[in-house]
Each structure stands twice: as structure tokens, then as C-alpha cells.
């Protein structure tokens, strides 16, 4: 009677370790955004180069996620997880002691690579540890609460650390977390890998898709900064598209593909990744605009902005766990439609915020509704993306959904900055101009488009797996009722 209890406790400790690592990665992006002015002043960044502190991280992170997921399947999920956490920690230390503009950009890129290795490995460890259905959904609810609220918490932590300890501490804070995870992982996590007849890495496929994704993120970012008529941005996006087509051709002919195209025969996986584009765009775009609004229109300090974001972080955490319970009972489609619908309404509320808004009557209602919407979106879309995926493909499926979220976020940021700039900019002399309203209206449209994509998540009563392995996991209740 003792062994199952110990095993059960061990599973939840595994969840705790992977969630802490994921939270560290998500937190890092928001923390850095708050500290950018202080970093630029201290390291004498040229104004045009400061955004590279964020962009360098995003390019490596978004570009290598799919590769990281497949490496975890092939060579061991615990091994890639520990390597990613260790690399992230070392890069955090180096970023904190960076002495110049170039050194910080290089170390941030290294941080992004570490995140790309650990994030899909962590999620695939979770997927292979918990049985598909109610138990896994509960674990993903906790995972979603950490992932969804990490950005909001990062704004608060970034403000506190930058104001009272200095910007270097936004990186140093990762060191004890990374050290604890690396120390705990060898005795807590068991090594798992895909049951394949080979251990060959699809080098051609890995090279083309990694380059394609890196160029895609860079091209979108440059277009948002320089405009969509920028020749370099358009050329970069064209090359990214050509590489993506080459990747599909390589995968179609490869005996050991990096991304087995057969997994897209899973209707839930395909529709969920389409929906995640909207969820990522909504989350990244909304956090960016709200931070700008609070600081540059309402005049909030970094700490005040962080405290204000508690109003969205708490609903995300609560709704994420509510979302997993509702998904277990009713399936992901109605929960996602409700969540994205709430997000659309919240975006419309934000679009109509006045110049002299007060937090409680004007801002907080949108924060609460937006947090509810994001919480009811993150978890169901992740559950849907991983339902029915064979254990052999857990890493690559995890890398795929993380990649989709990152690409969606880049597209969302590009969309809102482009629309805001076209309408006259998001701020002028401390007072809002037309830019905020249209940008938030675009996000409302993105949320509704995501709700339409979620409508494709309906599944047949018994959806077969896409490989020849026996189905080891029980079908969740929502698939029984579909």
C-alpha cells in the first residue's frame, strides 16, 4: 500500500519541479521588459538597439523550441531538461554581469536557447508522467496557471528589483531557482525517451526549420519596428517561407523526420495549434499595450504597474484550474470559446479606456475579465494539443505548441504596434491618442478568430491514434461524450 502513495507523491513533486522551471522562463520576458530603460541607460545602448535585449532572446527561443522538443524525445527528456535549466542559469549569470551592449545581447540569446531546450522537455515530462484524462488535466491546470500568470508577476517583480536592487538582479534571481532544479532533477525525475528504432537526428530538417523560425521571428519583429514596407523585413520573411516549404519537403521524404507530419492527422492537435496562434497573439499584445498604457498614459511607476497587474494575474491562476476541471467534464471547445469570448469583451473594454482612468472603476473590470479569459484559454488549448499524442511524440508535440504560442505572440506584438503607429502612436505628451483603441479592437478580433478556430476541436467518439502503438491511456470524458 505504501509504494503507490510514494509514487503518487513523486509525480506531484515532478510537476512542481517542471512548473518552477517553466515559470522562470515565462517570468524572464516580462521582467526584462520593465527593466529596459535602466539597462539602456547603464550600458549606453543606442535607442534603436535596446529592443535587441528582448529580440535576441525571442529569436533563439522561438527558433529552437521544435528542435528542443525532438531532441528530448531522442536523447532523453530529463537530460535535455537539466541541460536547458543549467544553460539558462549560466546565461542569466552572464547577463547580470554584462559589461556592454553586445555582451548582453549575446548572453540573452544564450538564455533563449536554454529556454528552448527546457520548455518542451518540461512539458513532455509532464505529459509522460500523468495519465491522459482527469489527472493530466489537473497537472496542466497548474502548469497553465504558472505559465499564464508568469508574465503578470514578472511585471511586478521587475519593478521591485529594478527600483530597489538594480537591473542585474532581474537575472540573478534565476540563479537559486536554476541551481535547485538542477540539483533535484537527477533523483526526482526518471529518464524517458521515445521508443524508436533509431536515435538519428534529422539534421536537414532541424537546420531548415530552426533557421525558418528564427528568420520568421526576426522578420516579424523588424516589420513591426520599421514598417511592413521595409525591404529587409520582407526579404527575411520570404526566405523564412521558402525554408519552411523546404522543411515540409524534407520531412515528407525523411525516414526519421524531426516533425512527423502524421501527427497532424490528429484533429485536436491541428486545431489547437491554430487556436494557440490567437491565444499567444492576444496575451503578448495585451500585456504590451496595458504596460504602455499604465506607465505612459496614467503615469504609473514600475512598481505601481506591477501591483496593478495583480488584478490580472490572480484571475489567470484561478481560471486556469477552473478551466482544466471544465475541460475534463465538457471538452476543450466550449471552454475555449467562453475564454476567448471573455478576452474579446475585455479587449473592447480596454479600447475605450479614457485618458484620466482610475484603476478600480475603469481598469480593474477589464483586468478581471481578461484574466478570466486567458485562464480559460491557456489550459484547454494545451490539453487539446497533447490529447491522443503517442508517448514517442510527446516532446515534439510539446515543442510544437510552445512554438505556435511564441510565433503567435510575435505576430500579436507586430499587429498592435503597427496599428497603433498607423493611428498616430500609442501615446502623445502623456495623453492617449487614437492608437490604443484600434490596437485593442484588433486584439478583440483576434480573440474572436481564435474562438472560431476552437470550433474545429470537436472530435469523433473514438478518434484513433496516428501511430501503430496500442492506446495505453484511457480516453478523457469529453471524448467519450463527443
Indicate the pTM of the whole model.
0.84
> Which of these, 17, 21, 15, 26, lies nearest to 142 by C-alpha position?
15
Q: Which three cell numbers stand for residue 241?
A: 517561407
Q: How far apart are CA 67 and CA 206, in angstroms?
A: 6
What is the predicted pLDDT for the residue at 160?
A: 84
State the pLDDT at residue 465: 44
The residues of the chain scoring below 50 in pLDDT are 1-6, 427-433, 459-482
Tell me phi and psi for residue 408, to 5 degrees.
Answer: -60, -40
What angle do helix axes 101-129 and 77-96 make, rounded to 10 degrees?
A: 150
In tens, the pLDDT along 216-227 reads 989 998 888 888
| Three-class secondary structure of residue 431 per DSSP | strand
302, 158 Cβ separation under 8 angstroms: yes
How far apart are the C-alpha atoms of 424 and 442, rounded to whole Å? 16
**What percent of the residues of the chain are helix, what percent strand, and what percent coil, each to the nearest 5?**
80, 0, 20
Q: What is the pLDDT of residue 458?
A: 52
**Is the Cβ–Cβ distance between 294 and 364 less than 8 Å?**
no
Distance CA 49, CA 187 (A): 43
Per-domain boundaries in the chain: 2-190+258-463+474-481, 216-257
Q: Rounded to an integer, what distance in angstroms lies between the CA atom of residue 275 and that of residue 341?
A: 13
How far apart CA 202 and CA 9 sit, in angstroms, is 37
Q: What pLDDT score was predicted for residue 425? A: 56
Instruction: Tell how many helices (H) and how many strands (E) occur in the chain.
Output: 17, 0
Sign, CA torsion 144/171/120/406: positive
**What is the three-class DSSP state of 478?**
helix
Q: Which class for 381: exposed (0-12), middle (13-18), buried (19 or more C-beta within 10 A)?
A: buried
Q: What pLDDT score does 241 carry?
A: 96
Residues 99-127 have pLDDT tens digits of 999 999 999 999 999 999 999 999 999 98
Residue whose C-alpha cell is 524517458: 192
Rounded to an integer, what distance in angstroms lies between the CA atom of residue 71 and that of residue 452?
33
Residue with cell 537591473: 167
What pLDDT, on the 0 to 100 scale, is given for residue 232? 95
Find the angle CA(190)-CA(193)-CA(198) to the nearest 5 degrees: 150
Question: May I ask the CATH class of domain 2-190+258-463+474-481?
Answer: mainly alpha
* 428: three-class secondary structure by DSSP: strand
Amino acid at each position: 500500500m505504501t509504494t503507490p502513495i510514494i509514487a503518487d507523491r513523486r509525480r506531484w513533486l515532478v510537476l512542481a519541479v517542471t512548473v518552477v522551471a517553466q515559470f522562470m522562463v515565462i517570468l524572464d520576458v516580462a521582467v526584462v521588459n520593465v527593466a529596459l530603460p535602466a539597462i539602456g541607460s547603464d550600458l549606453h545602448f543606442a535607442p534603436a538597439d535596446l529592443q535587441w535585449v528582448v529580440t535576441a532572446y525571442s529569436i533563439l527561443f522561438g527558433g529552437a523550441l521544435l528542435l528542443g522538443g525532438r531532441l528530448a524525445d531522442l536523447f532523453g527528456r530529463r537530460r535535455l531538461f537539466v541541460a536547458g535549466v543549467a544553460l539558462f542559469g549560466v546565461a542569466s549569470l552572464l547577463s547580470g554581469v554584462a559589461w556592454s551592449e553586445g555582451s548582453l545581447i549575446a548572453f540573452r540569446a544564450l538564455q533563449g536557447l536554454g529556454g528552448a531546450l527546457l520548455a518542451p522537455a518540461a512539458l513532455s515530462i509532464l505529459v509522460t508522467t500523468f495519465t491522459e484524462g482527469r489527472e493530466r488535466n489537473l497537472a496542466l491546470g497548474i502548469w497553465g496557471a504558472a505559465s499564464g500568470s508568469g508574465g503578470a508577476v514578472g511585471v511586478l517583480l521587475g519593478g521591485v528589483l529594478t527600483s530597489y536592487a538594480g537591473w542585474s538582479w532581474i537575472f540573478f534571481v534565476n540563479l537559486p531557482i536554476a541551481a535547485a532544479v538542477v540539483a533535484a532533477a537527477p533523483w526526482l525525475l526518471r529518464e524517458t525517451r521515445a521508443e524508436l528504432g533509431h536515435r538519428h537526428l534529422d539534421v536537414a530538417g532541424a537546420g531548415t526549420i530552426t533557421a525558418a523560425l528564427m528568420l520568421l521571428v526576426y522578420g516579424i519583429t523588424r516589420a513591426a519596428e520599421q514598417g511592413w514596407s521595409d525591404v529587409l523585413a520582407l526579404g527575411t520573411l520570404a526566405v523564412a517561407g521558402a525554408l519552411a516549404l523546404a522543411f515540409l519537403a524534407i520531412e515528407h521524404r525523411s525516414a526519421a523526420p524531426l516533425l512527423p507530419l502524421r501527427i497532424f492527422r490528429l484533429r485536436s492537435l491541428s486545431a489547437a495549434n491554430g487556436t494557440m496562434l490567437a491565444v499567444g497573439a492576444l496575451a503578448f499584445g495585451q500585456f504590451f499595450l496595458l504596460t504602455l498604457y499604465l506607465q505612459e498614459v496614467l503615469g504609473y511607476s514600475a512598481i505601481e504597474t506591477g501591483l496593478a497587474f495583480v488584478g490580472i494575474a490572480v484571475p489567470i491562476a484561478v481560471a486556469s484550474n477552473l478551466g482544466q476541471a471544465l475541460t475534463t467534464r465538457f471538452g476543450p471547445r466550449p471552454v475555449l470559446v467562453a475564454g476567448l469570448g471573455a478576452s474579446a469583451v475585455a479587449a473592447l473594454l480596454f479600447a475605450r479606456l479614457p485618458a484620466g482612468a482610475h484603476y478600480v472603476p475603469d481598469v480593474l473590470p477589464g483586468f478581471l475579465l481578461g484574466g478570466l479569459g486567458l485562464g480559460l484559454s491557456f489550459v484547454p488549448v494545451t490539453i487539446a494539443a497533447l490529447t491522443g499524442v503517442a508517448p514517442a511524440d510527446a516532446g515534439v508535440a510539446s515543442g510544437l505548441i510552445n512554438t505556435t504560442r511564441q510565433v503567435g505572440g510575435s505576430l500579436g506584438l507586430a499587429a498592435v504596434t503597427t496599428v497603433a503607429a498607423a493611428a498616430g502612436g500609442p501615446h502623445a505628451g502623456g495623453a492617449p491618442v487614437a492608437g490604443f483603441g484600434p490596437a485593442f479592437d484588433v486584439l478583440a478580433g483576434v480573440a474572436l478568430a481564435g474562438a472560431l478556430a476552437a470550433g474545429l476541436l470537436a472530435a469523433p467518439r473514438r478518434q484513433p491514434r496516428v501511430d501503430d502503438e496500442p492506446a495505453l491511456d484511457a480516453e478523457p470524458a469529453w471524448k467519450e461524450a463527443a
